[in-house]
Chains A and B, each alone.
Chain A
Amino acid sequence: MTTNDKLKVNIDPARGIDPGEDSYAPLVDIYEDANGMTVMVAELPGAKSDSIDIRVDKGVLTISADGRREEFDDSYARTYTGFVCGQFFRAFALSDEVDRDKIDATFNDGLLILKLPRAATAKTRKIEIKQG
């Protein structure tokens, strides 16, 4: 597990939860934007938006989606195969600094974008020193 105290999403390469067979880990980018919002970008090519399932349970964010298609039957010979469309699964451990109730997700052109705002309690607060 990669831990970074500055940023708020931890990546678990072992993907702790059993994703079942035949699932692919989507490629992701994770960055913090200028407003301190953590943004996750995941590639889910071929997936339809209604097949995407995003959950947060016990501090673990899971993304699963179905990218399978049955457009071309056996009458098509596979001359060259560079990618396979299957099910996607990946899990991430969230830090306590993420406001779990305010995670926002959008899906366009095969790209899932998750915005994870920082919880109010995790924001920097200046503490005034009272006059003695």
Chain B
Amino acid sequence: MSGSRQIGGGTYPPVNVLNGQTELVVECEIAGLKREDVDLTITGETLQIKGAKSPLTSDEVRYQCRERGMGDFNRTIVLPDRVDTDRISASLANGILTVRLPKAEASLPKHIEVK
């Protein structure tokens, strides 16, 4: 649907959490932000995304239309599984942050031999 995306609604930044066989993936939509604008931390199963979205111009300009939000943000995501915090990787491309969190050994399925 055209224009179905909410403007100014919901929690910023919007995230997706995907649960794969061996890893969890957290995608985060942060168009216009650079690597250094984002701060990622993990504590146990809690991933925290912090950062600041600053305006492109410091001049006092007259906006005719202003839909993009600005300012600090802080979002906490409780992951659905345990992850190996040492092997987490994050990349930012075209405004989408992708965090790949390999599942901890303990939360991977184990085959049980029937004697």
Q: Which residues on A are within 8 Å of B, measured CB to CB?
A: 2, 4, 6-7, 9, 11, 13, 15, 19, 21-25, 27-34, 39, 41, 43-48, 69, 71-72, 75-83, 85, 89, 109-111, 113
Q: Which of A6, A46, A80, A81 contacts B94 (CB 8 A)?
A: A46
- B44 in the interface (beta carbon within 8 A): no
Asked whether A89 lies within 8 Å of B16 as measured between CB atoms, the reply is no
Asked whether A25 lies within 8 Å of B5 as measured between CB atoms, the reply is yes
Q: Which of B5, B80, B94 contacts A79 (CB 8 A)?
A: B80
Cα separation A127 to B24 with both chains bound (whole Å): 68
The proximity string for B residues 1-38 relative to A, scoring 1 for CB distances below 8 Å and 0 otherwise, is 11111010011001111111100110101111110000
Asked whether A29 lies within 8 Å of B29 as measured between CB atoms, the reply is no
Q: Which of A7, A23, A28, A34 contacts B2 (CB 8 A)?
A: A23
Asked whether B96 lies within 8 Å of A76 as measured between CB atoms, the reply is no
Contacts of A44 in B (CB 8 A): 31, 94-95
Asked whether A77 lies within 8 Å of B63 as measured between CB atoms, the reply is no
Instruction: Determine the residue in chain B with the shortest Cβ distance to A110.
Output: B95
Asked whether B4 lies within 8 Å of A24 as measured between CB atoms, the reply is yes
- B112 in the interface (beta carbon within 8 A): no
The proximity string for B residues 59-84 relative to A, scoring 1 for CB distances below 8 Å and 0 otherwise, is 10111111110000000010010000
Asked whether B18 lies within 8 Å of A43 as measured between CB atoms, the reply is no
Asked whether B94 lies within 8 Å of A29 as measured between CB atoms, the reply is no
- The 9 nearest A-B residue pairs measured at CB: A110-B95, A110-B31, A45-B95, A82-B14, A83-B14, A43-B31, A80-B17, A111-B32, A30-B65
Point out which of B11, B27, B63 has the most chain A C-beta atoms below 10 A from its C-beta: B27
Cα separation A85 to B27 with both chains bound (whole Å): 11
Instruction: Determine the residue in chain A with the shortest Cβ distance to B80.
Output: A79
Asked whether B18 lies within 8 Å of A46 as measured between CB atoms, the reply is no
